[in-house]
Chain A
Amino acid sequence: EAQVTQNPRYLITVTGKKLTVTCSQNMNHEYMSWYRQDPGLGLRQIYYSMNVEVTDKGDVPEGYKVSRKEKRNFPLILESPSPNQTSLYFCASSIGIPDTDTQYFGPGTRLTVL
């Protein structure tokens, strides 16, 4: 089944404790992206990647890191999480750039930073 998977789905952590949220797609998509969803703010893009080893900042990259060593994986890293990073995170992928392709979204990761 074609899908985007994220792990974990739920995570409660404490300030400053490094964490990684994994994202994987099995559709051989080139483009992958991370968003955070907050009430009243909609979805805001954190980082995106157009291919292996190519990443770029979205609208709200501060406090986050990403890597794209393999085409299928695009982990989101929070080196020192803070409470303002409490949010719902979505990973998405598309065949090419979103210019001409639909993005497929993962199920979301609900992160709480205490």
Chain B
Amino acid sequence: AQSVSQHNHHVILSEAASLELGCNYSYGGTVNLFWYVQYPGQHLQLLLKYFSGDPLVKGIKGFEAEFIKSKFSFNLRKPSVQWSDTAEYFCAGHPRGGYQKVTFGTGTKLQVIP
């Protein structure tokens, strides 16, 4: 079945540490991928998205993600996290073309300690 998986369920980092959250997908063919963030008590907001072109995608708030087709991965990175990055992060994706459903990963809770 087509899916998106996140293996880190809960990550705790100190401020200024570097962040990398894993995301893997199992779609065949071309794929669109997204990272969303959900701050405590708020709704989901788009961080960044990949449709085609440069596999290194830059998003808001200093986040970036790299699409590695050979590894079926779309990991989210940030060189130096802040306390305000404490949130839950969701990877999502679907095959490109046609009317397809978006599938979300199970989410990764990031806690940044001051």
**A interface residues (Cβ-Cβ under 8 A, vs B):** 33, 35, 40-45, 48, 50, 56, 58-59, 90, 92, 97-100, 102-103, 105-108
Contact = CB atoms under 8 A, between A and B. Distances in A.
Contacts of B43: 90, 105-108
Interface in B66-114: 90, 92, 94, 96-107
B64 to A, nearest CB: 17
Interface string B1-38: 00000100100000000000000000000001010100
B56 interface: no
B32 A99 contact: yes
Given A42-B104, A105-B43, 16 more contacts: A35-B104, A41-B106, A42-B90, A42-B107, A43-B90, A43-B107, A45-B103, A90-B44, A97-B100, A99-B94, A99-B100, A100-B51, A105-B45, A107-B42, A107-B43, A108-B43
Contacts of A59: 101, 103
Interface of B: 6, 9, 32, 34, 36, 42-46, 49, 51, 90, 92, 94, 96-107
User: Which of A42, A48, A50, A107 gathers the greatest number of chain B CB atoms within 10 Å?
Assistant: A42
A43 B75 CA distance: 19
A33 B36 CA distance: 16
26 contacts: A33-B102, A35-B104, A40-B9, A41-B106, A42-B104, A42-B106, A42-B107, A43-B92, A45-B101, A45-B102, A45-B104, A48-B101, A50-B99, A59-B101, A59-B103, A92-B44, A97-B99, A98-B94, A98-B100, A98-B102, A99-B94, A99-B97, A99-B100, A102-B46, A105-B36, A105-B43
Contact of A58 (B90, B101, B106, B107): B101
A50 B98 CA distance: 11
Nearest to B104: A43
